[in-house]
A and B are shown apart, each in its own frame.
Chain A
């Protein structure tokens, strides 16, 4: 037995040989493959060449604008000059600690919720309390805090508020819509189908237009709802429609036997749904759920079109500053990096969670 497994493969050996073998198998297995490899190296090299020499080698990192005039590469002084505006928008600058606290609360809340140990009904309660706290931190008006109108909320703070609140409310709404669409009560089913299909059929921008232009007409004379809240509701309904279809797909994938087993044990509808079906169904749809959340995060940028002052809007305003007219590349790349980090982190987390749950439910 031992003599067979111990004999090494002829080409294998120390690390050098091993990596040579890896390269032969993955990069140079055939002449065509070798040509592709060389072509790829050329592409990567030319992209890196342009990028590195612009962003690092020829760039000026000083805080003063004057330095930029000689530099042929990026002018990072711009970001240095602007970052507070990008993070907080037009929020009064002496009160910047408040949006900072709000952002820390939102991100740490997200991070904590990602940990499976904290998953319990209390988490929902904690979130509701947290949202109220974030709201009052930003808006002020109590405990001696200066009131700040929502129109002044802006930058990354506003983006985070829209995204996190959107996720927190879209998910339960989506669940209701999905259950409704699978219900055997025809009227409820029809209502849910119409809501889901209408929101999925139109672009988000039209929903936002509806929230900003048409919504005021819906309300009786003298009553008005803040434009931020209207946009938020639009985003929630729009993404909930997509999420509902994701959830429904998961529920459809649960074998009939599970429903029958739950029925035969005498569980009622809600017990069956929340104890048996949903835990399995939601597990199945973690990747598409997370990509809906990622879409929601990216889509918050659309509020710029109806005049809200989120991260993208702040940047757009910033690059219109005549002093920095040519530095738009730096500005847009900088916020692209911010968006990228959030989205990439969410997609990695989704892959991790998917794997982790797979491991813990098999064997």
Chain B
């Protein structure tokens, strides 16, 4: 015994162990982990017992069985003869469809409103803030149900459908819009559009190279936009400029032709977009405000014009702040699209719910959609970690 310990010689050796840090840490961990393990084991064994008692087969075998229920709208081909697995796949694609369109719309609208809230114009700020405060303080589910009720009850029926623009019909059966009639030209116009984007991209690279080499600035933004518009237009002309349209018409029992957005899809898209917009606007606002004013001042005193200051100094710094919470909002929108079940849009949760009710495979059903959402979330957060590492400012 070292002299240091001589005073505590009379202390019980068991107490010394009890006060040992490592010992305590091990005990705590065993307690917590053991508790969690026991709880899990208890729940699993109960579940198995219950399933046996109710005569429900466990496992995912039911996925191959015939679903025997219809789905009102679908991106991929589906009929009631298809399997449950196919039905769930339809649900996933429907979820992705509404989420991706909603994300695009909410980003555009959110950016506009976010910029409005930092405007120098007091009234514009006022409108932006009022919009944000109103739509974010009302539950999104209430908004969805409201828009659905507006479309299905507030809008007139087939016979007296609203016809705001020639060929556009708005009724309680959804929104019908004219589309281009089938013609090989349109495929090539699409190809031309993609080629135009690629062209604009290469133009940008070329102009930046030239800027570095000669110092001459080329207006790649406006010329690039021009290319994106002009190339598909020329392709369209080359194919004889087809103008035939597939215009919806009112038939005896329904609309014929045109493209349809169902009431469920329209309400869901509208509600999700308007709600998520408020959060995105806040993200954009705080991103812009996060760039210290000294940055703008320094750039100004170097003689940079305000459009260049925005592009070279403010935006790159603001985007670092904006992108992580923005991705979070995209995830939230995707997760909120599960509220579709309340208004009958056949998304993943809605289809799983039907499946669970028909087969009794509650555990598997919930497990499937939780897994899908979890994997989307995990993929996105992996991407975000990578992005943050790459983009974080280097500091001492």
Chain A residues engaging chain B, CB cutoff 8 angstroms:
26-27, 29, 33, 36-37, 40-41, 43-44, 184-188, 191, 197-198, 200-206, 209-210, 213-214, 216-221, 294, 298-299, 301-302, 304-305, 312, 316, 319, 325-326, 328-329, 332, 335-336, 339-340, 343-344, 347
Given A187-B32, A301-B142, A336-B146, decide whether A202 and B120 contact each other with a Cβ distance below 8 A.
Answer: no
Contact residues of B between 28 and 43, Cβ < 8 Å to A: 28-30, 32-33, 36, 43
Q: From A216, which residue of chain B is reached at the shortest CB distance?
A: B50
Q: From B337, which residue of chain A is reached at the shortest CB distance?
A: A203
Contact of A332 among B47, B149, B338 (CB under 8 A): B149
Given contacts A33-B121, A37-B121, 7 further A-B contacts (CB under 8 A): A36-B119, A37-B124, A44-B123, A200-B377, A206-B338, A206-B373, A328-B154
Q: From A294, which residue of chain B is reached at the shortest CB distance?
A: B137
Stretch of B162-170, B211-219, B362-370 with 4 or more beta carbons under 8 angstroms from chain A: B362-370
Chain B residues, CB < 8 A from A217: 46-47, 50-51, 362-363
Chain A residues, CB < 8 A from B121: 26-27, 33, 36-37, 40
B138–A329 contact, CB under 8 A?
no
Give the CA-CA distance A26 to B119 in the complex, in Å.
Answer: 10
Contact of A340 among B134, B141, B341 (CB under 8 A): B134
Given A27-B121, A312-B141, decide whether A205 and B341 contact each other with a Cβ distance below 8 A.
Answer: yes
Q: How far is the CB of B376 from chain A (nearest CB, A)?
A: 8
Give the CA-CA distance A316 to B134 in the complex, in Å.
Answer: 21
A203–B349 contact, CB under 8 A?
yes
Chain A residues, CB < 8 A from B50: 216-217, 219, 221
B124–A36 contact, CB under 8 A?
yes
Q: How far is the CB of B95 from chain A (nearest CB, A)?
A: 10
A312–B29 contact, CB under 8 A?
no
Q: From A188, which residue of chain B is reached at the shortest CB distance?
A: B32
B138–A340 contact, CB under 8 A?
yes
Chain B residues engaging chain A, CB cutoff 8 angstroms:
25, 28-30, 32-33, 36, 43, 46-47, 49-51, 53, 119-124, 126-127, 133-134, 136-142, 145-146, 149-150, 153-154, 335-336, 338-339, 341-342, 349, 353, 356, 362-363, 365-366, 369-370, 373-374, 377-378
Q: How far is the CB of A124 from chain B (nearest CB, A)?
A: 23
Chain B residues, CB < 8 A from A198: 370, 374
A43–B127 contact, CB under 8 A?
yes
Give the CA-CA distance A29 to B33 in the complex, in Å.
Answer: 65
Chain B residues, CB < 8 A from A294: 137
Chain A residues, CB < 8 A from B46: 217-220
A27–B369 contact, CB under 8 A?
no
Q: From B30, which residue of chain A is reached at the shortest CB distance?
A: A187
Give the CA-CA distance A347 to B282 in the complex, in Å.
Answer: 14
Q: How far is the CB of B178 from chain A (nearest CB, A)?
A: 28
Give the CA-CA distance A298 to B142 in the complex, in Å.
Answer: 9
Q: How far is the CB of B330 from chain A (nearest CB, A)?
A: 14
A214–B362 contact, CB under 8 A?
yes
B366–A214 contact, CB under 8 A?
yes
Q: From B35, which residue of chain A is reached at the shortest CB distance?
A: A191
Q: From B147, which residue of chain A is reached at the shortest CB distance?
A: A332
Give the CA-CA distance A214 to B339 in the complex, in Å.
Answer: 19
Give the CA-CA distance A328 to B149 in the complex, in Å.
Answer: 7
A191–B36 contact, CB under 8 A?
yes
A218–B43 contact, CB under 8 A?
yes
Give the CA-CA distance A164 to B146 in the complex, in Å.
Answer: 25
A305–B341 contact, CB under 8 A?
yes
Q: How far is the CB of A192 from chain B (nearest CB, A)?
A: 9
B142–A332 contact, CB under 8 A?
yes
Q: Offer 6 A-B interface pairs, CB within 8 angstroms, sorted by A.
A: A40-B126, A187-B30, A304-B342, A328-B153, A344-B133, A347-B137
Chain B residues, CB < 8 A from A44: 123, 127
A206–B366 contact, CB under 8 A?
yes
Chain A residues, CB < 8 A from B149: 319, 328-329, 332
Q: How far is the CB of B170 from chain A (nearest CB, A)?
A: 17
A339–B138 contact, CB under 8 A?
yes
